[in-house]
Amino acid sequence: MTKRELINKAKEAKAFAHVPYSGFSVGAALLTKSGKVYTGCNIENSSFGATICAERIALFKAISEGVTEFESMAVVSSANDVTYPCGICRQVLSDHMYDGKLYFENKDGEIIDSSVKEVLPFKFNNEIPNKK
């Protein structure tokens, strides 16, 4: 799958965003190493802490079906410019696809390549030193 095709899948997913509070729609498309694509959109809730981002929905859909090897993710938003994942999503992505690629589209329609490592170079690691 090309980067453009993955961006287009993210745009399709963005159309399903439920954003009655912010009006800020996000779509994500996750490409697995086997070639399957999982999509997600952000879904807001009146209890704002219960809101979930598009990136996590796509990733969790895949994981809930037993998929654990990921290649790349495209993320688009209603800002029609590069929208990087939030801090929570960066950590979740780093836990599951730290070597993965990220693709964004800027306001000119150009695809911007990045990686999970670039957006979160110092990921949290819960390994306990000297654990017995």
Query: Domain boundaries in the chain?
Result: 3-119
Burial of 54 from C-beta contacts in 10 A (0-12 / 13-18 / 19+): buried
- pLDDT tens track for 35-78: 999 999 999 999 988 999 999 999 999 999 999 999 999 999 99
40, two tokens: 């997600």
Which of 5, 12, 44, 55 is catalytic? The answer is: 55
pTM comes to: 0.92
Residue 130's pLDDT is: 66
Q: How far apart are CA 28 and CA 6, in angstroms?
A: 9
Does 71 qualify as catalytic in the annotation? no
The region that residue 52 occupies, defined by phi over 0 for left and psi between -120 and 50 for alpha, beta otherwise, is beta
CATH number corresponding to 3-119: 3.40.140.10
